[in-house]
Structure 1
Amino acid sequence: MKKYLSLFRIRLINSVQYRAVTFGAVASNVVWVLLELMMYAALYKSAEKALPMSFPQICSYVWVKRIVMGMLVVVAYDGEIYSVIHSGSVAYELVRPMDIYGKWYFQAAANRVTSTMVSCIPVLVIAMILPEPYGLRPPMSALQTLAFFVSVVLALGIVVAFAMLMFITLFYTIAQRGVKIIVAATTSFLSGGMIPLTFFPERVLAILKYLPFSSMQSTPLLIYSGNITGTEILNGIAVQIIWMMILLVIGKVAMNYAIKHVVVQGG
C-alpha cells in the first residue's frame, strides 16, 4: 500500500498549492447552496401537501451534498487518465511494476478526496454558523454519524469503480466527450445529485434504491439528514457493499480484456 499512499500524498500536496482555486471553489459552493435553498424554500412555502422531507432535512441534505460532491461524482478530476488513454501513453503504464487497474483506481480516489479536503472545511464552518433552518444540523446520534462516514467511504468506492468502467470504455472510442456527458448526466440525476430520490414516485424509487446510482450519493445523504433510520440504514449499506464488490469484479475483468486487445499507434 505504500505506493498508493504516496500517490495520495502527492495529489494532496498538488491540490493545496493553488489557493486561489480553493477560494473560488469555496465561494462557488456556498453561493450555489444558497441559491438551491432559496428554490426549496419557495417550493415548501407553496406546497399544498406534505413533502417527503422536512425543510431542515432538505437543508442538511443540500449542504452535505455540496461538501462531499467533489468526492462522489463519477466524472471529475481525472484529466491525466483521459490523456493517457487518448494519447497512447497507456503503453508506458503497462510496463510499470504496478497493476494498472489498482493504480488508476487509487489515483482517481485520491483526486476526489483531495479536492474535497481542501474546500470542505470552510464550507462546513459556514454551514454550521448559519441560523436555523438554513444551516447544517449535526447528526442526531453517534451511531448516525458513524453510519454516515461508513456510507460515504463505500460511496466513494462505488463511484471510483464506476468511473473505472468509464475509463475502460474510452479504449474503444475516439472521443471521450460524449461518454463523459452521458455518464455525468445519468449518474447525477439517478444518484440524487440534482434532487433527492425521495421526491421521485414510489414505483420509480422502489427500483432506483437497488441500483448502484443511489449508493453513490443518495444513501449517505439520506442517512445524514435523518430521512432513513434503523434497518433502512443497514439495508442501504448492505446494498452499497454488494454493488462495490460487483463493480470491482466487472471492472477488473473488463480491464484485463481491454489491455489484451489494446493497440497503440506510432513509435
Structure 2
Amino acid sequence: MKSYLSVFKLRLINGMQYRIAAIAGIATQFFFGFIFIMVFEAFFNSNTSSQPISYNQTVTYIWLEQSFLVFIMLWYRDIELFDLITSGNIAYELVRPIKIYGLWFSKLLAGRLSGALLRSFPILFIAFILPEPYKMSLPPDILTFILFCVSLILGLLVVVSITMFIYISVFVTLSPTGSMLLFGVLGEFLAGIIIPIPFMPEWIKRIVYILPFHVTCDMPFRIYSGHIPQNEAIVGILTQILWLGVLVILGRFCMKKVLKKVIVQGG
C-alpha cells in the first residue's frame, strides 16, 4: 500500500505542474458550458410542458460536468501506459515488485485528480457569480453536499476502474484506438455526459441504469442539485461501492489473465 501511495503522490505532484494546459482547458470548458446552457435554454423556452429536470438543475448539472470533466471523461488517457505496452517497455513493469493493476490504478487516479484540482475551482467560482440564467445554484442543504462529495469520489474511482479495461484490452489488440472509441463514445453517452439521463427515453433509461456508467456522472451531479432525494442518494452510493468492488475484482482477474499471455513488442 505504501508503494501505491508513493506512486500516487509523485504522479499528483507531476500533474499539478501543467498549469498552462489547465488554463487552456478552463477556457475550452467555459466555451462548451455556455454552448450547452444556451441549447437547453432554447429547449426550455420552446417547450412549455413539464420536464423531468428543471432548468436551474440542468444549468448546475452542466457546470458541474465542465468543472469535473477530468473526473468523468472516459476518453482521458495516459499515453505513457499505452507506450509501455506497444513499445515493449512493459517488461520493466513486469519485473517491479508491485502489482501492475494497483500501480496503474494509482497513476490514473492521480492524473485525473491533479487535472481536476487545477480546473474545477476556477470554473466553479466563476459559475457561482455569473448572472441569471447562467448562474450555478448551491445544493439544497449541507447533507446533500456531503452526499455529493462522497458520490463524486466514488464515481471517480469507478471511472478509473472502467478505464483500466481499456489498458487491459491493449495487451490483446496492441492498439488503443478501438477501445478508446468504444468506451469514449458509448460510455460517455450512457454516463449522461452528452445528454442528462432524465431527458432520455424510458427504454434507454432502463439500459442505462443496468450498467455502471451512470454512477460516474449522472448520479453525483443530480444528487448535488437535489434532483435525487437524500434517501435515494444513499442507496445510489451503496450501488457505487458495489460496482467499484465488482469492477476492481474483474479488472484484477482480467489483468492477471492477459499478463500470462503477454507478448513483449518492439524487441
Q: TM class by shorter-chain length?
A: over 0.9
Structure 1, unaligned runs of 5 or more = none
Alignment correspondent of 2:60: 60
1:22-45, Cα deviation, whole Å (9 max, x unpaired): 211111111111111111111100
Distance 1:154 1:19 in 2: 26
Distance 1:124 1:67 in 2: 6
* 2:258 paired with 1:250: no
Distance 2:174 2:77 in 1: 20
Structure 1 segment 125-204 matched on structure 2, within 5 A:
125-204=125-204
Secondary structure in structure 2 of the residue aligned to 1:70: helix
Indicate if the aligned counterparts of 2:140 and 2:225 stay in contact, CA closer than 8 A: no
Indicate if the aligned counterparts of 1:210 and 1:239 stay in contact, CA closer than 8 A: no
Structure-2 change in CA distance of 1:35 and 1:265 (3 Å): closer
Distance 1:133 1:235 in 2: 32
Distance 1:251 1:6 in 2: 22
Distance 1:16 1:111 in 2: 9
Q: Which moved more, 1:133-142 or 1:152-161?
A: 133-142
Distance 2:93 2:204 in 1: 42
Structure 1 segment 197-236 matched on structure 2, within 5 A:
197-236=197-236
Give the letter aligned to residue 260 of structure 2: K
Q: Which moved more, 1:205-214 or 1:102-111?
A: 205-214
Structure-2 change in CA distance of 1:60 and 1:205 (3 Å): same
> Structure 1-normalised TM-score?
0.95
1:117-176, Cα deviation, whole Å (9 max, x unpaired): 111111111111112342111111111011101111111111111111111111111321
Alignment correspondent of 1:76: 76
Distance 2:250 2:153 in 1: 20
Secondary structure in structure 1 of the residue aligned to 2:140: coil
Report the CA distance between 1:265 and its aligned residue.
Answer: 4.1
Distance 1:158 1:214 in 2: 10
Indicate if the aligned counterparts of 1:16 and 1:22 stay in contact, CA closer than 8 A: no
Deviation beyond 3 Å, 4+ runs, structure 1: none
Structure-2 change in CA distance of 1:188 and 1:172 (3 Å): same
Distance 1:48 1:138 in 2: 25
Distance 1:114 1:18 in 2: 9
Aligned length: 267
Report the CA distance between 1:102 and its aligned residue.
Answer: 0.2
Q: Which moved more, 1:2-11 or 1:82-91?
A: 2-11
Alignment correspondent of 1:51: 51
Report the CA distance between 1:204 and its aligned residue.
Answer: 2.6
Alignment correspondent of 1:100: 100
Please, what is the CA RMSD of the aligned residues?
Answer: 1.4
Report the CA distance between 1:256 and its aligned residue.
Answer: 0.5
1:92-112, Cα deviation, whole Å (9 max, x unpaired): 101011110000011111111
Q: Which moved more, 1:16-25 or 1:253-262?
A: 16-25
Distance 2:47 2:11 in 1: 45
Distance 1:107 1:164 in 2: 11
* 2:41 paired with 1:41: yes
Q: Which moved more, 1:123-132 or 1:37-46?
A: 123-132
Give the letter aligned to residue 158 of structure 2: I
Report the CA distance between 1:266 and its aligned residue.
Answer: 5.3
> Structure 2-normalised TM-score?
0.95
Distance 2:206 2:231 in 1: 16
Indicate if the aligned counterparts of 1:8 and 1:106 stay in contact, CA closer than 8 A: yes
Distance 1:222 1:155 in 2: 13
Report the CA distance between 1:14 and its aligned residue.
Answer: 2.4
Distance 1:236 1:261 in 2: 38
